[in-house]
Amino acid sequence: MNLDALILLEALKADYIELVRSKSGSPFPFSGTIGNEFGTIYVRKMAATNYFCLANLNFSDECCGQGVLSSFIDHIKENPFSFDGISVELIHNPRLAAKLKSDGFELIPLDPISDSQAPTLVFLLN
């Protein structure tokens, strides 16, 4: 992993811990953007599920393919707080979808009101 990717990963980890701790115990949904100048992830917890959702990934070219997302997901698995799962929503990259499936993520049915054909994958923590 290159230096930019390492810096991004550490920012994502710290932001995740800070965001979840600040919302700990709240039954309400939340959302926010975590990361730094090398990349961001829009994350949320929706009312319908107790999943930590990664909804929009935007990494710099220097950080793509460096293992940042896999390492960040491992960090969430090691620090699940009270989440029941991790979801990665609307995956447009077939290689990413295949990688997540090989890591134990499962396809969930599409939202009936969504017109997107991009899959959403979930990893159950419990």
Q: Where are the domains of the chain?
A: 3-124
Burial 100-119 (b: 16+ CB within 10 A, else e): beeeebeeeeeeeeeeeeeb
Strand order in the sheet with 85-88: 30-36, 39-45, 51-59, 85-88, 120-124, 106-108
Q: Give the model confidence (pLDDT) of 27-74 as tens digits.
A: 789 999 999 999 999 999 987 888 999 999 999 999 999 999 999 999
Q: Radius of gyration over alpha carbons of the chain, in Å? A: 14
Q: What is the CATH number of domain 3-124?
A: 3.40.630.30
pTM: 0.89
Quote the tokens at residue 47.
Answer: 């009312």
Q: Which tokens go with 125?
A: 């923590």
pLDDT band at 115 (very low <50, low <70, confident <90, very high): low
Distance CA 53, CA 102 (A): 19
Instruction: Answer whether residue 7 shows pLDDT above 60.
Output: yes
The residues facing 87 across adjacent strands are 53, 122
Mean pLDDT, range 93-104, rounded to an integer: 90
Average pLDDT over residues 9-28: 91
